[in-house]
């Protein structure tokens, strides 16, 4: 009976550790990897000079983003990136371990920043592991930080055939 209690106690301890340490570390690892790579790839496509960019129109090629993610992201964290954009929104998918994650949402310009409305995840269980709002935040932060660091605010966003076009204006206070 004592051995049974000890085994149950150890199992409970393992569950608690996974719940409070494993899942948050997984979320943070995937979030950091994707956010870093997104910022790097956005800069690689849009930077023409160091420092501030002129207000205007900037277009991201989703195909180039997808290819660069595949080439540069550590596959132990995330792999098999899929990004598709059409006028109705954006679809993002990736694999982490043996789990496939799929998300959909609608990028919009709001208050000078990118916002992703109605972000959903393809399965509820996976949404519990990596919530849709967390993925939306990763994308929003990566792109918003890029434009803000260059003194620009997003005025409008147009979604095309695997392209995202940002029309920018000077950020308030610049």
Query: In this structure, which long-range contacts are made by residues 71-79, counting pairs with CB atoms below 8 Å and at least 24 apart in sequence?
Result: 72/37, 72/40, 72/41, 73/33, 73/34, 73/37, 74/33, 77/29, 77/30, 77/33, 78/30, 78/33, 78/34
Residue 99 in domain: yes
Residue 33 in domain: yes
Residue 9 in domain: no
For 18-67, the pLDDT digits (tens) are 556 566 676 676 666 666 766 677 777 777 656 567 899 988 888 887 77
- Could you give the angle at the alpha carbon of 97 between the alpha carbons of 123 and 13, nearest 5°? 85
Residue 3 in domain: no
Read off the pTM. 0.73
Number of domains the chain is built from: 1
SS3 state at 131: coil
- Cβ-contact 146, 46 below 8 angstroms: yes
Residue 156 in domain: yes
Residue 115 in domain: yes
Residue 20 in domain: no
Compute the CA torsion angle 16, 19, 20, 23 (nearest 10 deg). Answer: 150
For 84-137, the pLDDT digits (tens) are 899 999 998 877 677 777 889 999 999 999 999 999 988 777 677 778 888 888
For residue 163, the enclosing domain spans 25-169
Residue 138 in domain: yes
């Amino acid at each position: 009976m004592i051995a049974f209690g000890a085994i149950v106690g150890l199992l409970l301890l393992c569950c608690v550790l996974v719940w409070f340490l494993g899942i948050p570390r997984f979320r943070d690892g995937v979030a950091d990897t994707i956010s870093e790579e997104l910022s790097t790839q956005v800069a690689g496509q849009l930077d023409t000079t160091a420092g501030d960019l002129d207000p205007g129109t900037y277009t991201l090629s989703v195909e180039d983003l997808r290819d660069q993610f595949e080439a540069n992201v550590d596959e132990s964290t995330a792999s098999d990136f899929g990004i598709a954009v059409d006028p109705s929104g954006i679809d993002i998918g990736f694999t982490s371990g043996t789990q496939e994650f799929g998300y959909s949402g609608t990028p919009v310009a709001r208050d000078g920043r990118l916002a992703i409305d109605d972000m959903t995840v393809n399965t509820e269980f996976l949404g519990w592991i990596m919530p849709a709002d967390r993925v939306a935040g990763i994308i929003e932060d990566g792109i918003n930080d890029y434009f803000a660091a260059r003194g620009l605010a997003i005025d409008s966003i147009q979604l095309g055939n695997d392209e995202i076009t940002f029309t920018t204006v000077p950020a308030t206070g610049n």
